[in-house]
Structure 1
């Protein structure tokens, strides 16, 4: 795993001060490479030992070693892979940056996804008597898209983005039912509460979320995506693009298991 990806995955396990270091590096890795330890610590508003602790958490000996590995990753294409949108960029430049960001996130996610987990999730959803899709914010849009995809396959399915509604619905699920929960952080207390209720009711839980999150740990099967896919960049809500692609893969896989139709004849492309 590349250094920036490891830093993004590790960020949620760091202390508050160490997260300041992580956020500053992720926001502008090139600036971090150019700065001395003292200058970077001052800009982050933390002590120099805090910066060193963050470096060592990533397996680096210290600040110079961290900067060297960061520079090597950027040089090999392991950085953000795209330029941030700048004031004055015309529409064509913005379009190119947005597409580059989306392509990079999709490529990284494709390489990182566990094919066995995807297969297990597909079989579980294909066998489910009923599917409920939960998500908040941008993930709620993905949940609605999943509802549309599975509904076209003749699967009884609903999507909820209201925490109170999916909390009540989850408690009424039964063995043989399944929940598809989508969360960028995997740490939403409301979503976790509903996921726990669904599991307690005997339903299976498929999660699309980041590795190491509480939601991933709770799931029957978790399809985990690199946390770096949600890092700041020119694509607001960029993780949604990744999640929508995963939903498409699940829906087509379910279609292949529930019907003899080929993917082009399922209507999933519209």
Structure 2
């Protein structure tokens, strides 16, 4: 007897809530093994699929043409033509986020495409979900800050250093701290009017959360760049949500790092603009000093 088949559990097909690639990934485990093979090929080569015929797609995916037809039907499409039209539209939205495993058989070009796709998708996702009101509150707090400190551990500690490099040029005393003991001690010395920015890809690093609590007890305003609803997000006065799932692929770089860097760029540029023309002259002087350290153009 043929095995019973459950209807694939797919997200809302509206482009506002999910791309077609996300739908395919969500439905994959409910598909037949041969259809899963077709799904895997589409997920790994979405841009190529748009230009392939029925026979070409079946050959490259290593399945039969009827399997391709069943795969399209399982996702709610009448056939391959409708599926490819929807795939092209989905890719055009700029939201290609999907998990692509890097493996030892990949060429350098394939590795590059997967890493870039993952990074671009993560940035677009964060851009589309960044809360404008929280962003405004964070910029206001940073604009009036007497002192700004950036806290992060491990990978996030490197991001904190980059943030300090951005903000010290704005004429505000800044520090980047990655040692958790130093973080706690420094947080205890903060005062009302100071701002601490805590960065964490998981939002569950105990020492960073505790430093935020200490800083707030001292009167400082805490801004978190972290996962929404996480312990760190709840501990901060203002939370800028950066919800980027980290891939289990051991080869892949951490995409949350790129998202955190981008959000910090947004904050730095916003603060610079808000501080007005007098800052422009200061930034120009700083840039002029750097010219002295460069060799002349040939």
Q: Which residue of 2 aligns with 1:32?
A: 29
Provide the C-alpha distance between the structure 2 equivalents of 1:124 and 1:3, rounded to a whole number of angstroms.
Answer: 38
Q: Does 1:208 align with 2:225?
A: yes
Q: Does 1:110 align with 2:127?
A: yes
Q: Does 1:250 align with 2:247?
A: no
Provide the C-alpha distance between the structure 2 equivalents of 1:85 and 1:182, rounded to a whole number of angstroms.
Answer: 27
Provide the C-alpha distance between the structure 1 equivalents of 2:136 and 2:173, rounded to a whole number of angstroms.
Answer: 21
Q: Which residue of 2 aligns with 1:16?
A: none
Q: Which residue of 2 aligns with 1:161?
A: 178
Q: Taking structure 2 as the reference length, what is the TM-score of the superposition?
A: 0.63
Q: Does 1:218 align with 2:235?
A: yes
Aligned ranges 1:2-21 → 2 under 5 Å: none
CA separation of 1:71/1:114 partners in 2, compared to 1, >3 Å: closer, same or farther? farther
| Secondary structure, aligned partner of 1:226 | coil
Moved over 2 A (4+): 28-36, 75-83, 230-235, 264-267
Structure 2 gap ranges (5+): 1-9, 13-24, 34-73, 77-86, 291-298
Residue 145 of structure 1: CA displacement? 0.4
Provide the C-alpha distance between the structure 2 equivalents of 1:31 and 1:114, rounded to a whole number of angstroms.
Answer: 31
Residue 30 of structure 1: CA displacement? 6.2
Aligned ranges 1:101-140 → 2 under 5 Å: 101-140=118-157
Provide the C-alpha distance between the structure 1 equivalents of 2:202 and 2:113, rounded to a whole number of angstroms.
Answer: 27
| CA-atom RMSD in angstroms | 3.1
Q: Which residue of 2 aligns with 1:85?
A: 102
In the alignment, is the contact (CA less than 8 A) between 2:119 and 2:258 conserved in 1? yes
In the alignment, is the contact (CA less than 8 A) between 1:179 and 1:198 conserved in 2? yes
Q: Which residue of 2 aligns with 1:21?
A: none
Structure 1 gap ranges (5+): 5-27, 37-69
Provide the C-alpha distance between the structure 1 equivalents of 2:128 and 2:11, rounded to a whole number of angstroms.
Answer: 16
The count of residues paired between Structure 1 and Structure 2 equals 210
Q: Which residue of 1 aligns with 2:216?
A: 199
| Secondary structure, aligned partner of 2:170 | coil
Q: Which residue of 2 aligns with 1:236?
A: 253
CA separation of 1:247/1:104 partners in 2, compared to 1, >3 Å: closer, same or farther? same
Find the structure with the greater CA-based Rg. 2
Provide the C-alpha distance between the structure 2 equivalents of 1:3 and 1:178, rounded to a whole number of angstroms.
Answer: 40
In the alignment, is the contact (CA less than 8 A) between 1:33 and 1:71 conserved in 2? no
245-254 vs 92-101, which deviates more?
92-101
| Secondary structure, aligned partner of 1:152 | helix
In the alignment, is the contact (CA less than 8 A) between 2:11 and 2:26 conserved in 1? no
Q: Which residue of 2 aligns with 1:177?
A: 194
Which structure is higher in RCO with an 8 Å CA cutoff and minimum separation 6? 1
105-114 vs 79-88, which deviates more?
79-88
Provide the C-alpha distance between the structure 1 equivalents of 2:197 and 2:247, rounded to a whole number of angstroms.
Answer: 23
In the alignment, is the contact (CA less than 8 A) between 1:131 and 1:158 conserved in 2? yes
CA separation of 1:227/1:95 partners in 2, compared to 1, >3 Å: closer, same or farther? closer
Q: Taking structure 1 as the reference length, what is the TM-score of the superposition?
A: 0.69
